[in-house]
């Protein structure tokens, strides 16, 4: 305890010198912690946008001669030799243990207008009836789609709250209004809550989202009624196994094996793992680069501690003459170096905490940039422990020098 008091007294008696010495540690800790917070925030935002789809496995066609991933190279699915998935093939996949449901979608991007008002780049999503069972969109006003809507090919549409407020001012005013999508008119039957509203992960700002039956979207835009086909599973951990079983069964049902093709799968769980890993590596690399300033700060601490040993040579000699052991002298200077870096680390952590709060407020003010920027407990503790380690690492040389001083020669030092 006495050594801690000595350390604090020494630092306080040279306040300006101590602060300048700590500056490198302060800047280094603040930079590393802010970068880690930003990296973790970006990772959390991206993963959260995909995690809700981890239970969904996409099925797509891949010709035998194609060694490329059909998901990444759409030609394998939409090419001239591709086999279009038929919705009637999919119910049999429910026989596979672990498959809860299936759904098909198609999509487009177009302008939705009402009178002289219009919303551009609206994300149009078409789905079959089971799509809405799986996604379970929260209906804020009106109703969702029914079985008879598919049987009658009804020209109806649901819009999200962003689109409703943009075209009509509020959600309830949008109900039963006629909007123009492409070249056709559609009746708004409901307003839904879009879970992805306000996100802009890829830097693309959407004008809103609208839901249609896949049959109506296909009729309007000339796309297949089944653009993409999915199965919805119970356990994400079984995604690979269930996906393989579903692909094999679909290959058998469709008869594509006879012409050398097959169906294969893509699931979000693997993508989420890859994203998590890549963000972790990226954050670590950038944080390590910023951490160079900590090493520079550590060198500054070592330099000032060597100066301190020289200035306090007579004090060290006197303590040794009074019976202080080499270990006690070594311990005293090590603790002083460690206290110096830990105080710097604490100040840097406080600055980083303030900066992350400011950044989170700035991001929150812009819905397209909104993401969490928080200093996690493990990062904070890690910063303090690393600060202490820097103090020990760069304090060992000055402390060792002080402990080896000859007391007689030290007392003669002027």
Q: Is 260 helix (H, G, I), strand (E, B) or coil?
A: coil
Ordered DSSP codes for 24-44: HHHHHHHHHHHHHHHHHHHHH
pLDDT of residue 196: 63
Residue 285 shares a structural domain with residue 398: yes
pLDDT of residue 284: 80
Cα–Cα distance, 332 to 4 (Å, whole number): 8
pLDDT of residue 205: 52
Residue 257 shares a structural domain with residue 279: no
Residue 347 shares a structural domain with residue 241: no
Q: Is residue 55 part of a domain?
A: no
For the chain, counts of helices (H) and of strands (E) = 15, 10
Q: Is residue 127 part of a domain?
A: yes
User: Between the CA of residue 200 and those of 63, 159, 228, what are the distances in Å?
Assistant: 34, 19, 23
What are the pLDDT tens digits along the chain (414 aa)? Answer: 666 776 777 778 778 888 888 898 999 899 889 988 888 888 887 777 666 678 899 998 887 655 544 444 343 444 444 457 889 999 999 999 999 999 999 999 999 999 999 998 899 999 999 999 999 899 999 999 999 999 888 899 999 998 999 999 988 899 999 999 978 899 999 999 877 654 444 334 556 899 999 999 998 888 889 989 999 999 888 988 999 999 999 999 888 877 778 888 887 777 777 877 888 788 788 778 877 888 888 898 999 889 888 888 888 888 888 888 888 889 888 988 999 999 999 999 999 999 999 988 888 777 666 678 888 888 889 889 989 999 999 999 999 998 888 888 877 776
Domain boundary among the residues 245, 265, 285 is at 265
pLDDT of residue 83: 59
pLDDT of residue 203: 38
Residue 2 shares a structural domain with residue 25: yes
Boundaries of domain holding 361: 1-50+272-412
Residue 101 shares a structural domain with residue 216: yes
Q: Is residue 69 part of a domain?
A: no
CA angle 328, 333, 335 (to 5 degrees): 90
Domain boundary among the residues 265, 296, 329 is at 265
Q: Is residue 327 part of a domain?
A: yes
Radius of gyration over every alpha carbon of the chain, rounded to an integer in angstroms: 32
Residue 318 shares a structural domain with residue 336: yes
Residue 111 shares a structural domain with residue 254: yes
Tell me how many domains the chain contains: 2
pLDDT of residue 155: 92
Residue 1 is encoded by which pair of tokens?
A: 């305890």
Residue with tokens 């920027």: 373
- The helix (run of H) or strand (run of E) holding residue 412 is helix 407-412
Residue 378 shares a structural domain with residue 237: no
pLDDT of residue 367: 62
User: Between the CA of residue 20 and those of 17, 83, 306, what are the distances in Å?
Assistant: 5, 70, 15
CB-side neighbour CA atoms (13 Å) of 234: 6
Residue 299 shares a structural domain with residue 403: yes
Q: Is residue 62 part of a domain?
A: no
Residue 83 neighbours by CB under 8 Å, 6+ apart: 61, 254, 256, 261
Are 104 and 227 in contact by the 8 Å Cβ rule? The answer is yes
Q: Work out the angle between the directed axes of helices 292-311 and 313-321 (0-180°, nearest 10).
A: 70
Q: Phi and psi dihedrals of 101, rounded to 5?
A: -160, 180
Cα–Cα distance, 383 to 342 (Å, whole number): 9
Residue 205 shares a structural domain with residue 291: no
Cα–Cα distance, 293 to 288 (Å, whole number): 10
Domain boundary among the residues 265, 287, 316 is at 265
Q: Is residue 66 part of a domain?
A: no
How long is the chain?
A: 414
Residue 257 shares a structural domain with residue 319: no
Q: Is residue 56 part of a domain?
A: no
Cα–Cα distance, 29 to 144 (Å, whole number): 52
Give, rounded to a whole angstrom, the gap between the first and last alpha carbons of the chain: 30
pLDDT of residue 213: 94
Residue 130 shares a structural domain with residue 242: yes
Cα–Cα distance, 88 to 91 (Å, whole number): 7
Q: Is residue 376 part of a domain?
A: yes
Of residues 402, 323, 363, 304, the one with CA closest to residue 22:
304
Residue 155 is encoded by which pair of tokens?
A: 């020209």
Residue with tokens 């910023």: 290
Cβ-count burial 258-281 (b if 16+ within 10 Å, e if not)? eeebbbbbbbbbebbeebeeebee
């Amino acid at each position: 305890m006495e050594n801690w008091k000595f350390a604090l007294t020494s630092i306080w008696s040279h306040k300006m010198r101590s602060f300048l010495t700590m500056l490198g540690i302060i800047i280094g800790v603040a930079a590393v912690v802010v970068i880690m917070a930003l990296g973790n925030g970006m990772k959390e935002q991206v993963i959260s946008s995909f995690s809700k789809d981890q239970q969904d496995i996409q099925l797509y066609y891949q010709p035998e001669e194609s060694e490329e991933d059909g998901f990444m190279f759409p030609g394998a699915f939409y090419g001239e030799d591709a086999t279009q998935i038929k919705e009637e093939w999919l119910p049999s996949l429910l026989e596979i243990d672990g498959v809860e449901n299936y759904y098909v979608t198609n999509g487009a991007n177009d302008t939705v207008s009402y009178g002289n008002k219009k919303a551009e780049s609206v994300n149009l999503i078409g789905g079959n009836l089971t799509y809405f069972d799986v996604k379970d969109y929260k209906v804020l006003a009106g109703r969702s789609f029914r079985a008879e809507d598919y049987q009658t090919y009804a020209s109806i549409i649901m819009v999200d709250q962003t689109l409703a407020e943009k075209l009509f001012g509020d959600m309830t005013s949008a109900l039963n209004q006629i909007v123009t999508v492409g070249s056709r008119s559609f009746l708004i039957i409901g307003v839904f809550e879009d879970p992805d509203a306000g996100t802009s992960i890829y830097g693309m700002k959407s004008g809103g989202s609208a839901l249609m039956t896949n049959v109506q979207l296909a009729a309007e835009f000339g796309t297949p009624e089944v653009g993409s086909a999915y199965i919805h599973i119970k356990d994400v951990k079984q995604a690979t196994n269930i996906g393989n079983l579903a692909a094999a069964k679909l290959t058998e049902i469709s008869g594509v094996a006879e012409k050398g093709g097959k169906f294969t799968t893509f699931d979000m769980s693997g993508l989420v793992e890859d994203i998590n890993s890549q963000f972790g590596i990226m954050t670590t690399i950038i944080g390590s680069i910023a951490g160079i300033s900590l090493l520079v700060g550590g060198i500054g601490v070592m330099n000032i501690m060597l100066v301190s040993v020289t200035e306090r040579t007579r004090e060290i000699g006197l303590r040794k003459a009074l019976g202080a052991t080499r270990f006690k002298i070594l311990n005293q200077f090590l603790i002083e170096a460690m206290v110096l870096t830990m105080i710097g680390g604490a100040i840097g952590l406080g600055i980083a905490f303030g900066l992350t709060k400011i950044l989170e407020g700035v991001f929150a003010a812009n819905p397209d940039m909104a993401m969490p920027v928080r200093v996690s407990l493990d990062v904070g503790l890690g910063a303090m422990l690393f600060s202490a380690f820097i103090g020990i690492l760069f304090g060992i040389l000055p402390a060792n020098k002080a402990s080896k001083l000859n007391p007689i020669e030290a007392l003669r030092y002027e």
